[in-house]
Structure 1
Amino acid sequence: MRVTLISAAMSEAARASRFDDGSPLDDHGLRAAARAAGTLRPTGRVLVSPSPRCRQTAEVLGLPAPADEPALAGCAVGRWRGRTLDEVAAAEPEALARWLADPAAAPHGGEPLQALLDRVAAWLDGLPEEPASLIAVVEPDTVRAAVLHALGAPAAAFRRLDVRPLTATHLSGRAGRWNARCGEPL
């Protein structure tokens, strides 16, 4: 099985380092995705995280009829949605510290990081053997979760992985034995 995870192009929220707020691609993201259009040759299923910027990235890349895959959604951050890390640190320093230290914490009222990790791991482990390949356009935190699961890395490594916009992360293998090649620019 080959899984190619494409990180979404740049949006205004991503550029401002805000927690995702459902904003579409910005002009830079649109141009970058348009330059990368045609570089991917889907041979199997095409999936997309259910966010505006992921759907828009897939469309601009010219991927054929991607299907929404809820298991690949980014981490829901509740009331922190649309806020910068600095804003949250100023308003809720203890809550932010708890969230950064404990993968099971969800002081924002959204989804704990551990729930994202478990959801993405279950999706990877549940993939059928056919078709033998798929492409998914996803949020950076979904890529991080998939790489951690593929490598058997601890949740603490999540925030240590950088995922740049419009890069491909390739996973090959099957449940229980994945290999990873990360950060290939489109």
Structure 2
Amino acid sequence: MKAFFTMAVFGFLSMVAVCDAAPPPFPQQENATENPLEIGESYFLAQEYRKALQPLLIAAGDGLGRASFLLGEMYEFALGVEQDQITASVFYMFGAHQGFGDAQFRIANRIERGVFAPYDRVASLKWYLLAAQNPTTTHSLKRSAQSAITIFVQRDCAECAEQLRQAEILAKDWKPVYDFDRIVEELSKPPADVR
């Protein structure tokens, strides 16, 4: 899954680099006194999505998970940009790695449904566990994450207990990463053996 994500990230960045219509993935902030997340989020909430794009890209590049999540929403639901599920997943993954709970839920759900990456029960459970415990997760998504975990625990399968144990270890050892290059580096590593 990590190799697939890394390929998707580099594919996305290559696409952005050659496409004149798309902004660079993480532009630099021009005025250091402005808060790009507040600006982007205010445009997003006012449904002025095209105006939200640039400041949200800056904020995501600064490691703000909420900005990455909002960019994921824009690409998932074609809000001011062309709909692109891979790009949405990339931004959700950035937000999840940056520690934003709603992005952790979204990536868990996408992994569980096989959107963006092959189904991986342990990875999906890890992100659900993190989202369920994260104070930044909205109440409804926190309940949905807890429900997904409960449904999994109630399954009667031989490998379920071991998969849950592995996911709990991964969730316990997880630490947020705020730097884009470190996220790509982290995702390029082979999965750790949790046994």
Per the TM superposition, whether the score is higher than 0.5 is no
More contact order relative to length (CA 8 Å, sep ≥ 6): 1
More helix by share: 2
After TM superposition, the score normalised by the length of structure 1 is 0.28
Greater Cα radius of gyration, structure 1 or 2: 2
